[in-house]
C-alpha cells in the first residue's frame, strides 16, 4: 500500500503526472506523452502490416448504444454518464441559489444527455460496423484508440478514471479471431521484451457486478475468454494488466447483428493496450528520467 502511494508521489514530484485533486484523474507531462506516442508508433510498426481500418471515436458514445451493450448489467459500478442543465431561467435561479447555499446537491436537477462516457475503446465500433451490412467472409480488422472512463478511483497510479486504450478488434470466424488473439499475445510479449519490460501472461476475468456476476466470472475463466499481459508497476507480487486479450465468442455478433457474407454470426475478439499503464511500467522499470533509460530501449522507442 505504501509502495503505491510513494510511486504516485514520485510521479507527481517528477512532474510526469499532474495532481488534479481527484484520485485517478491526472494531467500528463510532455515527457509522459512522448513515451506514449513512441510506444504507439511501435504498435503501428508491429500491427501496420495487417492493414487494419483505423477509426477514432471521442471519449463519449451514443447512450442508446451503451444501453444496448448491456454494460449496466455487468459493470454498473464503473459507468459514467454525461448530465446537463436543461431548465428555464427560473430553474437557473434556483440552481445558483442551491450552489450558493450548498446544503443540497445542485447536480440533482441535471438531466441525462444522449452521451455516455466510453467504457472501452471498442464499444462504439460494433454498432458502427453492424450498420454497414454484412462483413466479408475473410473477416474485418479495426484499429482504435480512445480515452475511456471507469469509476474506480484509486491511489494506484496504474488505476485511473480517465485513461487511453489502444485496441485492435477482429471480426470473422471462430478460428480467424482466435488466431488473431494468439498472434497478439505473442506480439505483446515480444514488444514488451523489446523495451526491457518483464512480462507474464495469465488467464483473467472482468469484474462482473454482484452475485449473478460470479457465474459470469466462472464462465469467462473456464472458457479461457480473457487473458492479460502483466508487468510489475506498483507491486512485484501483484503485477498490473497492461494488455488484455478478449474473445467474445459470437455474443457481440448476436447482440449487434454482425453477420458474415454466408449469413453466419461473426465471432469477435479484441486486444487492448493500456497506454498509461505501459508508460508507467517503463518509468517504474527504467527510472523517471527518460534520458537515463537503457540505450537499447531508447533505440526501440525513438530509433
Calculate Rg over the CA atoms of the chain.
21
| Nearer to ligand ATP (CB atom), residue 171 or residue 229 | 229
Q: Are 81 and 151 in contact (CB under 8 A)?
A: no
Q: Are 211 and 169 in contact (CB under 8 A)?
A: no
Residues engaged in binding Zn ion (CB under 5 A): 120, 122, 270
- At its nearest, how many Å lie between Zn ion and the CB of residue 129? 13
Note whether 46 and 195 are within 8 A (CB): no
Q: Do 62 and 114 contact (CB within 8 A), yes or no?
A: yes
- By CB under 6 A, tell whether 248 contacts ligand ATP: no
Residue 156 Cβ vs Zn ion, minimum distance, rounded to whole Å: 22
Helix, strand, or coil (residue 103)? coil
If one asks whether residue 244 binds ligand ATP (CB under 6 A), the answer comes out as yes
Binding mask 16-55 for ligand ATP (x = CB under 6 A): ----------------------------------------
Q: Which residues pair with 19 in a beta bridge?
A: 26
**The total number of residues written for the chain in this structure:** 303
Distance CA 200, CA 228 (A): 8
Here's the x/- map for ligand ATP, 275-294, by CB under 6 A: it reads as -xx-----------------
Residue 272 binds ligand ATP (CB under 6 A): yes
Other Cβ atoms less than 10 A from the Cβ of 34: the count is 15
Choose, by CB under 6 A, the member of 160, 220, 285, 300 that binds ligand ATP. Answer: 160
In this structure, are residues 221 and 215 in contact, taking their beta carbons and an 8 Å threshold? Answer: no
Least separation, in Å, of the C-beta of 291 and ligand ATP?
26
**Interface stretch with ligand ATP, choices 28-36, 92-100, 153-161, 172-180 (CB under 6 A):** 153-161
User: Which residues are at the interface with ligand ATP (CB under 6 A)?
Assistant: 120, 150, 152, 158-160, 163, 165, 206, 228, 241-244, 272, 274, 276-277
Amino acid at each position: 500500500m505504501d509502495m503505491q502511494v510513494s510511486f504516485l508521489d514520485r510521479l507527481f514530484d517528477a512532474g510526469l503526472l499532474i495532481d488534479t485533486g481527484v484520485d485517478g484523474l491526472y494531467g500528463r507531462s510532455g515527457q509522459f506523452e512522448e513515451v506514449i506516442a513512441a510506444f504507439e508508433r511501435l504498435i503501428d510498426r508491429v500491427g501496420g502490416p495487417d492493414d487494419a481500418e483505423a477509426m477514432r471515436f471521442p471519449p463519449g458514445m451514443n447512450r442508446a448504444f451503451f444501453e444496448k451493450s448491456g454494460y449496466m448489467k455487468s459493470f454498473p459500478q464503473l459507468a459514467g454518464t454525461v448530465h446537463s442543465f436543461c431548465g428555464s431561467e427560473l430553474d437557473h435561479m434556483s440552481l445558483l441559489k442551491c450552489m450558493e447555499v450548498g446544503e443540497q446537491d445542485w447536480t440533482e436537477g441535471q438531466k441525462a444527455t444522449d452521451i455516455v462516457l466510453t467504457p472501452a475503446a471498442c464499444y462504439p465500433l460494433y454498432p458502427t460496423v453492424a450498420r454497414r451490412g454484412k462483413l466479408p467472409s475473410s473477416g474485418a480488422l479495426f484499429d482504435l484508440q480512445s480515452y475511456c472512463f471507469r469509476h474506480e478511483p484509486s491511489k494506484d497510479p496504474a488505476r485511473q478514471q480517465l485513461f487511453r486504450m489502444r485496441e485492435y478488434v477482429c471480426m470473422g470466424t471462430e478460428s480467424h479471431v482466435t488466431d488473431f488473439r494468439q498472434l497478439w499475445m505473442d506480439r505483446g510479449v515480444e514488444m514488451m521484451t523489446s523495451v526491457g519490460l518483464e512480462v507474464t501472461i495469465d488467464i483473467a476475468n472482468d469484474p462482473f457486478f454482484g452475485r449473478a456476476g460470479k457465474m459470469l466470472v466462472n464462465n469467462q475463466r473456464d472458457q479461457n475468454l480473457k487473458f492479460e499481459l502483466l508487468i510489475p508497476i506498483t507491486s512485484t507480487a501483484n503485477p498490473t494488466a497492461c494488455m488484455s486479450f478478449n474473445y467474445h465468442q459470437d455474443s457481440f455478433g448476436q447482440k449487434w447483428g454482425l453477420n458474415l457474407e454466408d449469413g453466419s454470426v461473426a465471432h469477435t475478439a479484441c486486444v487492448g493496450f493500456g497506454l498509461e499503464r505501459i508508460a508507467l511500467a517503463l518509468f517504474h522499470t527504467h527510472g523517471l528520467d527518460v534520458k537515463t533509460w537503457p540505450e537499447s530501449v531508447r533505440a526501440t522507442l525513438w530509433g
